[in-house]
Structure 1
């Protein structure tokens, strides 16, 4: 058993040596290694093989966490790519990496057996979906949330840091035999939960958790101050093709929280989620925006309750070369709706809104009365 202990110590020392280089997730990774090492000391055999298998998994995690060696807790734009076969998902100022083939918001009473990330789920029917033993899930949701149940309560809790922000973390095997983890960041009113078939998958997702000011799509995770929206004289007529650049290389689509009707509190400003389109898809969306009728949408008065403060739901960032054009979209209020680039306004039509909502997987982003 001495050689087994030496292998375990090698694993721990390896992560300790690299912990100072990790941009994010290092705290949670090293704590996970220590817990696994303690569990392996209780085994009677196969320790060396387990350690080698863990190192193979760690080799895939570490490259996505290593930076330049300088702390950078909130990059201006996070352009780092997750490892091959994985993708970023963003919501509420956090982002995680999940397997590329996972669905989005495949949960609840309409769920399938396909594994899924859940973020910005919106209103859902009150029903219980079928349980699929092979299904894996990851959640980015606020506090409180009706989407995370108490299945994680059986797991021990520990104090950790996520990008320097205090958090609590639970991780271990659940009663159904799956592996689960839950990170709660009270100060951000945020929680991230995972449930997977393999412990390594859950660890990798939790270790990828980042708190960002600008997410992987290029969207500010707090809604910027909308300049020119809803101010000034009557909007001028939109010249054909002038609402947005028709030859956009990329379009970042940023969707933000809104207050509920009757909510008198300050405007919510966290990002619901984001997406980025490029090439022909970006130019097709730009063409649809430029074909929008001039002027904003008519006000909705019947059966419409207005929040105390009306703010835009959407920010589109259209990039051509080194230049970026902002286009704001106000969708779900009773008044002041439409596209606005600061000097010109246009009508949000249902077909164009569908082009915007599709990359977001936002089925609940619709026009009132449509």
Structure 2
């Protein structure tokens, strides 16, 4: 195949696209640095957004540009009728990026909208609760969503645009007012081995079983940190296949505070309640923290949704989860959907966890 620009035609919209991965570099850190190696400051596997007012979002090995004003928020799902109670404001009323993940809790309800038009949104959600938004799905995926064909389908002033890139699909639901933005979002999708925060599409943490970081270090020896990337992975995706769910990055005072909180945590891991589950289980997701300082990159693993094995592991020492070192991890599309109650309460003080099934060996 050639490497020049291609034209992607979606419905009646012609969009200029570069080659998949055309501005993406390989590796596992700044300028391709592996954990524990030094690299020149700056730069990640995927390029920054092409112009101000846009940002990048990643899912598995897909990176896409979205308007900065489209903030992450949970889209209504199949249990939409339980949340409404006559309150349309229960759902986003401005364009957004769906922050729901594959292990979100959803009530088993038979919500019925009574509409016969094509369900471009999914979940049978009535049109009155629709807002333009972006969402992602793995291919293949449970529920058959990966079978939705690429292209554009329109009905009654709404359109759904779909494009497959690598092992993921990106969807955009849009009204006519945001059709140009939707077209640009779809056209920007590209494949990347490493996203804009330095998070690899696939990580050794996906081996499950509370595997330890392959490049041990002592986080207590770090006097300072420039940035900390939070890379959220699906532990049900085999190692070597894309499992990245979302990422974000902390810098400045936030990164400094998180480093201090990790070092202040008690040694030994936890909180754990091992008598509440089988010994051959572990959580559905895990986090890789990429700590960058002076061009050096170190990776620590965070486990948080099992009844045992929880904590922050630098490969040398396992430290306990505390509110100060766990609560700052969650924001945007990096979402803790549920799991064991003890770590959830520490990471989300004042919240009630939604219990999700855990993976078994």
Report what 1:342 is aligned to: 315
Aligned partners of 2:67, 2:224: CA distance in 1, in Å? 32
1:324-335 aligned within 5 A: 324-335=297-308
TM-score (norm 2): 0.67
Distance 1:171 1:244 in 2: 53
Kindly indicate whether residue 226 of structure 2 is the aligned counterpart of residue 249 of structure 1. yes
Post-superposition CA distance 1:341-366 (Å, at most 9, x none) = 12122111244211111354414266
- Seen in structure 2, the aligned counterparts of structure 1 residues 289 and 324 have a Cα distance that, compared at 3 Å, is same
> Structure 1 pair 254/307, CA: closer, same or farther in 2 (3 Å)?
farther
Q: CA deviation at 1:231?
A: 9.4
Equivalent in the alignment of 1:170: 151
Is contact 1:244-1:318 (8 Å) kept? no
Equivalent in the alignment of 2:173: 195
User: How many residues are paired up?
Assistant: 291
Q: Distance in 1 between matches of 2:13 and 2:283?
A: 50
User: Do the aligned residues in 2 keep the contact of 1:244 with 1:290 (CA within 8 Å)?
Assistant: no
Any conservation in 2 of the 1:88–1:98 contact (CA below 8 Å)?
A: yes
What aligned pairs does 1:268-279 form with structure 2 within 5 A after superposition?
Answer: 270-279=243-252
Listed one character per residue, the Cα deviations across residues 215-255 of structure 1 (whole Å, up to 9, x for unaligned) are 011101101369995599xx9xx8xxx43624211111111
Equivalent position to 2:53, from 82, 85, 100: 85
Q: Which runs of 5+ in 2 are unaligned?
A: 28-44, 81-89, 112-124, 346-361
User: C-alpha displacement at 1:93, in angstroms?
Assistant: 1.8
Change (3 A) 1:75 1:288: same
2:295 pairs with 1:322: yes
**1:167-210 CA distance string (max 9 Å, x none):** x52114x213123211246x72x221111123322210111111
Distance 2:47 2:183 in 1: 22
Q: Is the counterpart of residue 291 in structure 1 residue 264 in structure 2?
A: yes
Equivalences for residues 1-370 of structure 1 within 5 A:
21-22=4-5, 26-28=6-8, 31-32=9-10, 35-36=12-13, 71=22, 75-76=26-27, 77-108=45-76, 109=80, 110-121=90-101, 122-126=103-107, 131-132=127-128, 135-142=131-138, 143-144=140-141, 169-172=150-153, 174-184=154-164, 188=167, 190-197=168-175, 198-224=178-204, 230=212, 242-243=219-220, 245-259=222-236, 270-297=243-270, 299-305=272-278, 313-358=286-331, 360-364=333-337, 368-369=341-342, 370=345
CA, structure 1 residues 226+363, in 2 after alignment: closer, same or farther (shift >3 Å)? closer
Alignment partner of 1:87: what SS?
A: strand
Q: Which structure: larger Rg? A: 1
Which structure is richer in relative contact order (CA contacts within 8 A, separation 6 or more)? 2
Task: Please give the alpha-carbon distance, in whole angstroms, between the structure 2 residues aligned to 1:176 and 1:307.
Answer: 51
Deviation string, structure 1 residues 75-106 (Cα, Å, up to 9, x no partner): 44113323221111111221211111112133
- 1:312–1:149 distance in 2 versus 1, CA, 3 Å: closer
Deviations 1:320-358 (A, max 9, x none): 111112111122233322111121221112442111113
Q: Let me know the Cα RMSD of the aligned residues.
A: 4.0
Bigger helix share: 1
- Measured after TM superposition, the shift of residue 257 of structure 1 is 0.5
SS in 2 for 1:332: coil
